[in-house]
Structure 1
Amino acid sequence: MSKVVEVAAAVMLRADGTEFLLAQRPEGKVYAGYWEFPGGKVEPGESVRAALIRELQEELGITATACSPWLTRQFTYPHATVRLNFWRVTAWDGEIGITAPLEHSAVDWQKTGEPATVTPILPANDPILKALSLPTTMAITNTEAEGSERQLERLEDALKAGLRLIQVRAKGLPPAQRQRFAEAVCRLARSHGALVVINDDEEIARQVGADGVHLSSISLANCLQRPDFTWVGASCHSAAEIARAGELGFDYALLSPVLATPSHPDAAGLGWPEFARQLAGNTLPVLALGGMKPEMLSEAQEHGAHGIALMRGW
C-alpha cells in the first residue's frame, strides 16, 4: 500500500461566508492548470495547523489568524494517495499576493452554493464544493410543542431572516397531516431558496418534492446504501456513526447531544472538548445539536463543526 501524504488545505471564506477562494496550479506541477484549495504537504513533526499557516504565508503572502478543522478526505491520484485535511480560514492579516509572490497561476473568489466558474477543478474537491453549499444553521421543526400553524409562522419569519436549511420532524402527527405540513414547509422554503430534508420518511420526502431525507441513528444503522436524494443526512451520537454515514456517501451528519437540553436537562451532553474529539478525521460536514443557540455558531465551528442545528430558538 502506498504511503499516504498528509496535506493541509485552506478553505478561505469571506467574513459573511458567501465566497471562498480557489487557486490554480502553476506550470511545472502535477495537474498544472487545475484549480484547488490553497495549501500543501504537512512536513514531518509539523501539525496541520502549523502547515496551513506556513503554506498560506508561502503561497499567498498572508497570515491566518482564525482557522479551525472542518473535514478530512482521502483521495488516490495516479501519482500519490493524499489525505486532505480541510480547515476553514475566516480571518487573516495581509492581502493576497501583495506581501509575497503567489505560487499559483491565479486565484479566484467563488460564490458559495453556486456552480464553480473556473475549470478544471481537481477531482478530490468535488465533495468539498457540495459541502460548502450546505447552510451552517439547520432549523428542526417541533410541531409536538407548538403545533403546525405556529411552526409555519415562525419558519416564515426565520426564512425572511436568512434561514436556509430545514429538517421537517413531525413524528407526532398522523401521516396525512404530516405530509400536509411537509408540503407547506416546502412551499415556504422554495420561495426563499432554502433546502428541506424530511426526517426518516423517504416516501413523504418524494411526495412533497423535498431536497432530501434525514435518517435517525436507528435507520442509519440499518441502512445498506445511500437513499437516492440530492441531500442525505443522519443523526449520530458517536464517531463510529459519523464514519458510517461517511462510508455510505451521506452529505452531512448531526452529532448530539453536545450540551444539556430543555427536554433532557439531567442528561449530560458531550461537551465541546469531547465533541471535537469525536469529529477528528470526519469525512463529511457535521452540525452540532443539543442545547444550541444561534450565538453558539462560532464556538461550534471552532471545535470542528460545520454549523449548528436547533429545535428551539431558531
Structure 2
Amino acid sequence: MLLSTPVIAPRSLPPGRSECLHVAVGVLRHRGQVLVSRRRAGDEFAGLWEFPGGKLEPGETPVQALRRELAEELGIEVGRVMPLLRLPHGYPQHTVVLHVFDILDYQGQAQGLEGQVVCWLDQHKLLQLPFMPANGAILKAVMLPKVYGITCASHLGVRESLVYLEKAISNGLRLLQVREPAMDNQQLYSFFASCRKICWRSGVKVLLHGHPGQALRWHADGVHLSSAQLFALSGRPLPQNVWVAASCHGRRELEQAAKLHVDFVVLSPLKKTRSHPQAHPLGWKRFTTLCNQAALPVYALGGMQRSDVITASESGAQGVAMMRGCWNIDW
C-alpha cells in the first residue's frame, strides 16, 4: 500500500537503465473547486496546466516530497493525505511515475511562490484547459467519486431498486452503472430511463452496461464495457465528453483498457462473492500490485462495502464498486 510501504526515491540509477522519475502530486479541493497551476515561460511544457507537486529527492517518500514541494511552491503546510492514483507515464526521454494524493487538510493560503499562476477552478471546467500529457488520468480521477454503484433489479425488483436508488443518492452516491443482463431491451430501457430521471435530478452520472451506441441513443452519461468488449474494439468507442468504463480481471485487460483510453475500470473479484462463487479472488496484495501498474483510475469490485473505501484508496484504487453493498442488503 502506498502509505504503509512507500516508494523511496533511488539514490542512484542502475547502469544502463533509462531514467525513471518519481513525482508527488497534490489535489487540493475547496467547495467544489480544485487548485491548478500553469507552467512558467521557459519551462518544459510552458503554458500547460498541471496539479502542484514535484520530483522526489533522493531518499524521500512520496508523502515527504509532497509536503516539501507544496511548502516551496504554494506556501502551505500539508496535513492529512489520502492516495488517489499511482500513474506511470512514458515520455521519449524518461518514464514518470506520478504519486497523486488528495490533500485532506492543510494550513496556509495557497499562492504561487515560484512565479507560476495558480487558481481555483470548478471541477467541470478543468477539461477546458490544456494540461500536461501525464495529467489526463488525474483529471478523470479528480472528477470520479469514491463509490460506484451497480444496480441489481433482477434480485430486488424494479420498484424496490428505484426506492433504494433514491436513498443511496441521499446518502452520497454520485455514480451509477445500470447493469441488468436478465432484462430484455424494452424492460432495460424502461428501467434505465427511470434511473436516469432520478439520477439527473441530483447531478448523479449514470452509465449503461451495454453497447456504446445504445448508451448514446439512450442519452446515458457513459457506457460500461465488458472485458470481452475491450478486445473487440480497436479504439475508444465514444467521444471524450462521454464516460467510458470497463470491467477487468487481470493485467492483460488493464493494458487493453489503457490502450483504448478508457476513463476508468473496475478490477474484480477482490473477495469471494455469491454472484461468482467459482471465481478466484485477487486479494488485497495482488489487487494492489495490479492497481499500481494501471495507467488509469481503478475501482475495487467483489464483496466490497463502504467500509472498504479507505483500504481500497490506500491500495492505490479510486474507490470501491458495489452491487449488494451499495444498497445495504445482505442476501
Q: Is the TM value for this pair above 0.5? A: yes
Alignment of 1:1-314 (within 5 A): 3-14=18-29, 18-43=32-57, 46-61=60-75, 62-63=77-78, 65-68=80-83, 70-74=85-89, 76=91, 81=94, 83-91=96-104, 93-96=106-109, 102-112=113-123, 114-116=124-126, 121-229=131-239, 230-264=242-276, 269-314=281-326
**Residue pair 1:5, 1:81 contacting (<8 A) in 2 also:** yes
The Cα of 1:300 is off from its aligned counterpart by 1.1
TM-score, normalised relative to structure 1: 0.84
SS at match of 2:317: coil
When residues 260 and 136 of structure 1 are mapped into structure 2, their CA distance, relative to the original with a 3 A threshold, is same
Count of residue pairs brought into register by the alignment: 308
Residues 1:118 and 1:22: Cα distance change in structure 2 (over 3 Å): farther
1:127-166 per-position Cα deviation (integer Å, ceiling 9, x unaligned):
4323321232111011121111211121122223332211
Runs of at least 5 residues in structure 2 that lack an aligned partner in the other structure: 1-16, 327-331
CA RMSD of aligned residues (A): 3.0
**Structure 1: runs of 5 or more not aligned:** none
Q: Is the 8 A contact 1:15 1:91 kept in 2?
A: no
How far residue 183 of structure 1 moved from its aligned partner, in angstroms, is 1.7
2:308 partner amino acid: M
Q: Which amino acid counterpart does residue 138 of structure 1 have in structure 2?
A: Y
Deviation at 1:170, TM superposition (A): 0.5
Secondary structure class of the residue paired with 1:115: helix
Aligned-residue offset at 1:302? 1.1
- How far is 1:248 from its partner? 0.8
- Share of identical aligned residues, percent? 36
Counterparts of 1:187 and 1:55, CA distance in 2: 44
| Distance in 1 of aligned mates of 2:68 and 2:279 | 42
Residue 250 of structure 1: how far off its partner (Å):
0.5
Deviation (angstroms), 1:117: 9.6
Structure 2 residue matching 1:280: 3-state secondary structure: helix
- The 8 Å contact of residues 22 and 37 in structure 1, kept in 2 or not, is answered as yes
Structure 2 vs 1, CA of residues 93 and 115 (structure 1 numbering), >3 Å: closer, same or farther?
closer
Q: 1:63 to 1:140 in 2, by over 3 A?
A: same
Distance in 2 (alpha carbons) for counterparts of 1:287 and 1:8? 23
C-alpha distance in structure 2 between counterparts of 1:4 and 1:182, whole Å: 49
Alignment check: 8 A CA contact 1:140 1:309 kept: yes
